């Protein structure tokens, strides 16, 4: 459960990126953050990841304030998260495979395990033939698939994706959204920011931001459809624990 309680954020003294924002997101929800440029969508995602702190109010995860976490606890939070952040591209000085291995190395997995799982993640996104390539030699859609492989390699409980379909053609955008929906079906919470109205229709839940305030929020009666096959593939890929057993973890 993620909760924003009266969260405001001022990057500079008098300009508020978020103003008194409150909402909660339950485990396993697929939530779209919508709203125009500058509305505060990326700021919301960065706060959930512990990359920005609120100026006032609280951001809670499972009843704990994220901003009060000691720096030593942040890696445990990050380990639960798969991050696909806007403008946080791949590292250009190393191979595709090394990029996907990085989140595992950071949390102290062995090189051998990291390599095996990173390669498997690339395989599932059908981009394994680029494992040794430089990210510079990939197309935008290929880079985005690598970024998703990197986000899911640690088997996250929560995926945060900031404009994951920006700069993608329709075909690649559909691949990316279907992959994220399949993760949600397997019990992973997905929070996705998007300008793309077509994808908003497919969300359980939309939180609409405008100038730093939540101006609308709705829950769809329609469960987004995704094939069982795709959901199973996603579970196999992430090793995600279904929600029912996560409660006991």
Ligand X SMILES: Nc1ncnc2c1ncn2[C@@H]1O[C@H](COP(=O)(O)OP(=O)(O)OP(=O)(O)O)[C@@H](O)[C@H]1O
Binding site for Mg ion (CB under 5 A): 41-42, 86
Residues 1-20 that bind ligand X (CB under 6 A): 11-12, 17
> Is there a contact between 2 and 61 (Cβ–Cβ < 8 Å)?
yes
Binders in 59-118 for ligand X, by CB under 6 A: 86
Residue 167 binds ligand X (CB under 6 A): no
Residue placing its CB nearer to Mg ion in the complex, 28 or 35: 35
Asked whether position 40 contacts ligand X by CB under 6 A, the answer is yes
203 binds ligand X (CB under 6 A): no
Nearest approach in angstroms of CB 72 to Mg ion is 29
CB of 215 to ligand X, least distance (A): 13
Q: Which residue has the tokens 């702190």?
A: 53
Maximum separation of any 2 CA atoms in the chain, in Å: 50
Contacts of 42 (CB under 8 A, 6+ apart): 85, 86, 162, 193
Kindly identify the residues of this chain, within the stretch 209-228, that bind ligand X according to CB under 6 A. Answer: none
Contact call for residue 190 and ligand X (CB under 6 A): no
Angstrom distance (rounded) from CA 171 to CA 178: 11
**37 contacts which partner out of ligand X, Mg ion, none, CB within 5 to 8 A by kind?**
ligand X
Q: Which of 39, 48, 160, 161 binds ligand X (CB under 6 A)?
A: 39
Segments in the chain forming alpha helices (H): 41-48, 74-80, 96-106, 111-124, 140-152, 170-185, 197-200, 228-238, 243-246
Contact 7, 57 (CB under 8 A): yes
Rule CB under 6 A: which residues touch ligand X? 11-12, 17, 35, 37-43, 86
């Amino acid at each position: 459960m993620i909760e924003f309680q009266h969260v405001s954020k001022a990057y500079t003294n008098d300009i508020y990126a978020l103003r008194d924002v409150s909402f909660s997101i339950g485990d396993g929800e697929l939530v779209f953050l919508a709203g125009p440029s500058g509305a505060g969508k990326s700021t919301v995602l960065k706060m959930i990841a512990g990359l920005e702190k609120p100026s006032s109010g609280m951001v809670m995860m499972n009843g704990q304030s994220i901003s009060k976490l000691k720096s030593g606890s942040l890696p445990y939070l990050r380990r639960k998260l798969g991050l696909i952040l806007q403008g946080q591209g791949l590292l250009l000085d190393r191979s595709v495979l090394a990029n996907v291995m990085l989140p595992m190395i950071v949390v102290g997995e062995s090189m051998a395990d990291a390599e095996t799982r990173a390669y498997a993640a690339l395989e599932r996104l059908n981009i394994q033939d680029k494992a040794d390539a430089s990210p510079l030699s990939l197309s935008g859609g290929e880079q985005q698939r690598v970024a998703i492989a990197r986000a899911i390699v640690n088997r996250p409980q929560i995926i945060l994706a900031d404009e994951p379909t920006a700069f993608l053609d329709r075909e690649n955008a559909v691949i990316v959204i279907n992959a994220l929906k399949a993760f949600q079906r397997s019990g992973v919470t997905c929070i996705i920011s998007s300008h793309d109205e077509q994808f908003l229709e497919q969300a359980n839940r939309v939180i609409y931001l405008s100038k730093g305030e939540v101006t609308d929020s709705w829950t769809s009666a329609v469960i987004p459809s995704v094939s069982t096959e795709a959901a199973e593939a996603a579970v196999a890929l992430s090793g995600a624990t279904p929600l029912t057993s996560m409660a006991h973890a």
